[in-house]
A and B are shown apart, each in its own frame.
Chain A
């Protein structure tokens, strides 16, 4: 029986939406309570007034296993996550080959033992992410798949998608959609507008997202399945999302930290580390999305960690692979929203920890008694300049290279065991 008492902490409680000084007692890897009486032999960690919050649950992380281990392994992703205050990675199935059978899910589940943090897996929605046949949603759910998604490949055949949704409804399975109309989005690397036109980058209107969202929400209304939009990135999508909620549909939505902290102009001189799917939006959209997170219309913030090797990015902008690593930069990037964006720490942790836990049925995301002691201790104010080569991820494709950031992780605990940081 081991007990640890975190004293003198600034406790960030996303459930109670409080940010207050206090202590937290952990026993045998489980949170016992806030300001609880500690046994005499408890290990005491003085937090020196730093913030102590539930560990981040990063929903939608690409790991290169199987198929692209040179870009990221479970081990390297686990190290980066621990250093970034992420205690649970929810991995994407868009690997090579995709995670589309209980057998391949069993493989990655076994491989995930290499990581120092919790790893949960999503499975693909259709076989080989081909959009033609549904996967064994029943067997995969039994094998531990927390959600089903074809990633950035939209299932074009609405009849097949409706059947997938109907079948998933019966099993209570969650489907994650990528609501970007495939036809309009084809070949696009930027959001259409003045910037893309001047730089001559193939671009797509944000309306592609509105079309994709309307289509998918209609199918959700038809089938009654549980559904989550991976990334909602334009203000024009928000009315449809609100209407769906008001109509009682079981719908949630997420956004990447990059779409909350960067805009289309950050691409600047064709910097390929700023190429994302969907592409970065206008500043108006970015501000609207920050507000949507504050209002709770957008439920989840995640890094959409997408490791790419140097060669995939050392290409003309429109030919470069999209995506950025984010496990280690999610927290400091989120601090930009805390310091200058009007979001409180409890609001941020609701989106980065509590809501993903609730939506995926995971035990973390809380500071309440009985929750696992998955914790991050961090200094929201500590400044630093990011050098991408200090990142622990195997891939270094971050848009924040050389950026001035605030927010440093001091320690990370998974089930009460310290996985990052020295003796505090």
Chain B
């Protein structure tokens, strides 16, 4: 097996073969999830804790379902409104949880790097479910699976990522993954929402969306956070939609068979026109949600295998 990672903290430390291994396993789970009886036993007897320091509905539900379908005991902790409010530090929260002997820990945190810090303090496998503006690896993996299924390949595609790149962990993980798989990447957005140094990241930058979409095979829209809308980064929703909202006219600049993606939740009429989002011939937004569960099952499964192997080695060493 080529998947060696102990944790899934980011795309950065995954190799292309590891990514392919994970996506291939996820394909099996896509098939399982379409059956009426969706149970597997990869995590039988294991404990999975979903610890969300930031509110989330979709990602948390996806991870919960993934764990349960694999037979784990899943517990959700919305840390956003519990011990953190009482003044406990992140490391103390982690140590407390660690003492409860979980096997898999799924963590989302508003600060970049917080999940890495936590992973150093616990004995279980950690999955990053989004840390600040840093990484959101399972989102990039589910996007990759969606692209691979829709386009038949995951390399040599022209992929345009549009919107609030600067504040998006989804964009960072996607840039890393799609870059590793040798695709042509373009970033489209107002300069206020472009990360500094983007020009040195091996991507093409566009402030004119029509130019940027020319010939694109994949159009990946990003969510514009509400707090960015009020004059600080962009002047107004209507000007943003006019310049960077995906509508039929702008999409016509992309390749005729281009697919449209969005990590959700969408702001219809801000970054994407509702009719595009609902167009079953172009939009794969619902597929992304479906692939999300399968990819997370694959990630949990692979980490659990590595964890068992590691514990087996440790036990053997003790016996010697």
Contact = CB atoms under 8 A, between A and B. Distances in A.
A160 B230 CA distance: 11
A138 B191 contact: no
A163 B196 CA distance: 12
A167 B232 contact: no
Nearest to A137: B235
A160 B234 CA distance: 11
A136 B191 CA distance: 14
Interface in A81-137: 126-127, 132-137
Nearest to A167: B192
A268 interface: no
Contacts of B197: none
Contacts of B232: 133-134, 160, 163
Interface string A160-194: 10010011011000000000000000000000000
A139 B232 CA distance: 17
A42 to B, nearest CB: 46
B242 interface: yes
A126 to B, nearest CB: 7
A167 B235 CA distance: 9
Interface string A127-155: 10000111111110000000000000000
A163 B192 contact: yes
A135 B192 contact: no
A167 B236 CA distance: 12
A167 B239 CA distance: 12
A4 B233 CA distance: 52
Interface in B166-209: 190-192, 207
B75 to A, nearest CB: 41
Q: Is the interface of B mostly helix, strand, loop or mixed?
A: loop
A160 B231 CA distance: 9
Q: On chain A, which size bracket covers the interface?
A: 10 to 19
Contacts of B268: none
B235 to A, nearest CB: 4
B231 A127 contact: yes
B192 A136 contact: no
Interface string B223-253: 0000000111111101100110000000000
Interface residues of B, number: 15
Nearest to A135: B235
B239 A138 contact: yes
Nearest to B240: A138
Contacts of B236: 136
Given A138-B242, A138-B243, A167 B190 contact: yes
A106 B260 CA distance: 36
A202 B76 CA distance: 65
A170 B191 CA distance: 6
Contacts of B190: 166-167, 170
Nearest to A133: B231
A163 B233 contact: yes
Given A167-B190, A167-B191, A170-B190, A136 B233 contact: no
Given A167-B190, A170-B191, A133 B230 contact: yes
Contact of B235 (A136, A166, A170): A136
Contacts of A160: 231-232
Indicate the member of A137, A167, A169 with the most B CB atoms within 10 Å.
A167
A369 B249 CA distance: 40
A139 B242 contact: yes
Nearest to B244: A138
Contacts of A127: 231
- Which of B190, B230, B235 has the most chain A CB atoms inside 10 A of its CB? B235
B205 to A, nearest CB: 10
B234 A167 contact: yes
Contacts of B233: 163, 167
Contacts of B235: 133-139, 167
Given A166-B191, A167-B190, A167-B191, A132 B231 contact: yes
B132 to A, nearest CB: 19
Contacts of B234: 134, 167
Contact of A169 (B191, B230, B239): B191
A248 B192 CA distance: 22
Contacts of B191: 166-167, 169-170
Contact of A134 (B207, B231, B238, B243): B231
Contacts of B242: 138-139
B167 to A, nearest CB: 13
Contacts of B231: 126-127, 132-134, 160
A374 to B, nearest CB: 33
Interface string B104-133: 000000000000000000000000000000
B261 to A, nearest CB: 24
A166 B232 CA distance: 11
Nearest to B243: A138
A371 B76 CA distance: 72
B192 A166 contact: yes
A163 B192 CA distance: 6
Specify which of B191, B207, B238, B242 lies most central, judged by the most chain A CB atoms within 10 Å of its CB.
Answer: B191
B160 to A, nearest CB: 17
Interface string A208-220: 0000000000000
Most A CB contacts (10 A, CB to CB) among B231, B234, B238 go to: B231
Contacts of A136: 235-236, 238-239
Interface in B25-44: none
A134 B234 CA distance: 7
A161 to B, nearest CB: 11
A264 B235 CA distance: 41
Contacts of B243: 138
Given A136-B235, A138-B243, A170 B207 contact: yes
A225 to B, nearest CB: 9
A132 B233 CA distance: 11
25 contacts: A127-B231, A133-B231, A133-B232, A133-B235, A134-B231, A134-B232, A135-B235, A138-B242, A138-B243, A139-B235, A139-B238, A139-B242, A160-B231, A160-B232, A163-B192, A166-B190, A166-B192, A167-B190, A167-B192, A167-B233, A167-B235, A169-B191, A170-B190, A170-B191, A170-B207
Interface of A: 126-127, 132-139, 160, 163, 166-167, 169-170
The 4 closest A-B pairs by CB, nearest first: A133-B231, A170-B207, A136-B235, A136-B239
